[in-house]
Chains A and B, each alone.
Chain A
Amino acid sequence: MAEPTLPILEIRDVGKTFAVQGKTVTALKGANLSVKRGEFVCLLGASGCGKSTLLRIAAGFEAPSSGQACMWGKPIAGPDPARGMVFQDYGLFPWLSVRDNIGFGPKSRGRPAAEIRDTVARYIDLVGLGAFADAHPHQLSGGMKQRVAIARVLANEAEVVLMDEPFGALDAMTRERLQDELLDLWGRTGLTVLFVTHAIEEAIFLADRVVVMSPSPGRIDAVHDIALPRRRDVSSPAFNDIRRMLSAQLHSHHGRVAA
């Protein structure tokens, strides 16, 4: 068993370079981050700050060019059901019903049919899609698709949920409702969440810790603990103080890029 003090995710001095048209672009440089089990961590930054790259390295979709990413102390060698990913564009299988999308993971891992049926039923209920169990993705709204995508990684017993701007394509009201639902799920299941966003308010509303990242080259600037009690009031003075502080920090990058 893992020691209680061992971080579930650890990013050690991770860098990532891509070759673009013969030139080397540094997407991420010297990133260090340690995530404890059950934490909700947001990666916040403008586009090009490497937040998605960091998330994809944690998922195992990309290998770091330098440094190491570990889960429970073991180097991450590739995608694994223990780390479920929720994409902004959903990534649902269009030929499968809601039920079969959620059952895809358990089926891939060879679970018995009866168990898959029970698991799927439980998670369909959990995300409130009972009436749409047999619908196909093209018949669902964006918010419903994202609920399926979340249920799909939870049904697969993911310990860490990696979310890449999952609510970025949704309208404001749907986004707020899904944020609430996500926090509710997180509170009930003891999941660990690593959540990428460029929206300051979203990061403060959701996270235990906000990791502020800045571009060119992409790197981690600062990590802030958000000590506000939950459920957080986005209009409270304390919330606004944090928002102002993070906003100033993010805008200082813009100044530097323009200069």
Chain B
Amino acid sequence: MSANPAVAAAAPVPAAPTRPRVAVPWARLREAALALAIPAVLALVWHGLTTGRPYSLIPPPAEVGAALVDLAVGGINDDAFSATLLTHLAASLSRVYGGFALAVLFALPLGLLIGRVPLMRQLLDPTFQILRPVPVTAWLPLAMILFGLGPRSAYFLVFLGAFYPILVNTIFGVRSVEPRLFEAASMLGCRGSAQFARVVLPAALPSIFTGLRLGLGFAWVVIVVGEMTGVQTGLGAIIMEARQLSRTEIVICGMIVIGVAGFLSDRIVMAIGRRLLAWSPSHG
């Protein structure tokens, strides 16, 4: 979820189109090697500390790898977890993106209003500031009372996790729009609420995108809590179930899949952002 400086640094820079072409694959290779260096060292340490020790509570990497294959396609353990990965991944994806979409749907218009309309700011901002520090975990019991056991509570908790980063960054973006741009728009004949679509939204877009990235990241972070709501499927759900069965290798598989899925969805958001923000010297 956190910004990946190596990725950002290697993003194509439009100001330097004359960069020699041969340098690109080498830079890519170097970037990949640097990015994988620490995971590789961690895996080695993990292997060294756990392999060949039957009483280790943490399974060795090879065992986790086998469990991951079994979870994905089955054929190794053939138990209740075998070949269920796709089902769980799909369930979690729908909750992450569903909750995230709900958060965008509410946070974006609210952020634009709070950022631009003083009355809305006075009315809504204090409430959100008080609710914001409440951890998503703390909402779990109330969510289950309000929305019942099952996916609706999961959606709600993911929504909560993604909501505040989007809201806060949207408000910040709107409030940082240069006042000059409103003057320019109004003397060109774009006044009042027409400025929301033609000035506020595009000018705040870099900030809004930061909010969307953080929001989607938090949606993945809270997916395990979100799936403590009694749902049967989902990466969070199998992690909780495997924990009760002391199947630590399955727990670690769930962690790895969440990490990779979160990383990939962040890359997608970044790619979209780069296209939409090509005009911005600090993004493009």
Contact = CB atoms under 8 A, between A and B. Distances in A.
Interface in B199-255: 199, 202-203, 205
Contacts of B202: 93, 95-96
Nearest to A109: B189
B183 A85 contact: yes
A84 interface: yes
Given A79-B191, A105-B189, A91 B184 contact: yes
A97 B278 CA distance: 11
Interface string B261-278: 000000000000000001
A152 interface: yes
Given A79-B191, A93-B199, A104 B280 contact: no
A125 B243 CA distance: 70
B113 interface: no
Contacts of A156: 188-189
B186 interface: yes
Contacts of A59: 183, 187
B160 to A, nearest CB: 31
Nearest to A83: B187
Contacts of A109: 189
Nearest to A93: B181
A85 B187 contact: yes
Contact of A95 (B180, B184, B189, B279): B279
Contacts of A153: 187-188
A152 B205 CA distance: 23
A225 interface: no
A79 B184 CA distance: 9
B205 A104 contact: no
Nearest to B199: A93
A108 B184 contact: no
B280 A79 contact: no
B183 A79 contact: yes
Nearest to A91: B184
Contacts of B191: 78-79
Contacts, number: 75
B185 interface: yes
B190 interface: yes
A73 interface: no
B194 interface: yes
A151 to B, nearest CB: 12
Nearest to B201: A95
B281 interface: yes
Contacts of A7: none
B174 to A, nearest CB: 14
B279 A138 contact: yes
B53 interface: no
Nearest to B186: A79
A138 B281 CA distance: 7
B279 A136 contact: yes
B47 interface: no
Nearest to A60: B187
A155 to B, nearest CB: 9
Of the candidates A59, A61, A79, A84, the one having the most CB atoms from chain B within 10 angstroms of its own CB is: A79
Q: Please indicate which of the listed interface residues A84, A97, A108, A156 has the most CB atoms of chain B within 10 Å of its own CB.
A: A108
Contacts of B183: 59, 61, 79, 85, 87, 91
A108 B189 contact: yes
A187 interface: no
B202 to A, nearest CB: 4
A80 interface: yes
A96 B190 contact: no
Given A109-B189, A152-B188, A95 B194 contact: no
A152 B278 CA distance: 22
A96 B279 contact: yes
B97 to A, nearest CB: 26
Given A108-B194, A108-B198, A91 B180 contact: yes
Interface in A85-141: 85, 87, 89, 91-97, 104-105, 108-109, 136-138
B282 to A, nearest CB: 9
Given A79-B191, A108-B188, A94 B280 contact: yes
Nearest to B276: A95
Nearest to A152: B188
A89 B180 contact: yes
A30 interface: no
B281 A84 contact: no
Contacts of B181: 91, 93
5 closest cross-chain pairs (CB), A and B: A105-B188, A108-B190, A91-B184, A79-B186, A81-B189
18 contacts: A59-B183, A61-B186, A79-B186, A79-B187, A79-B191, A85-B184, A87-B180, A87-B183, A91-B180, A91-B183, A93-B181, A93-B184, A93-B199, A104-B185, A105-B188, A108-B190, A138-B281, A152-B188
Given A79-B187, A95-B205, A153-B188, 6 more contacts: A79-B186, A91-B183, A94-B280, A95-B202, A104-B190, A108-B194
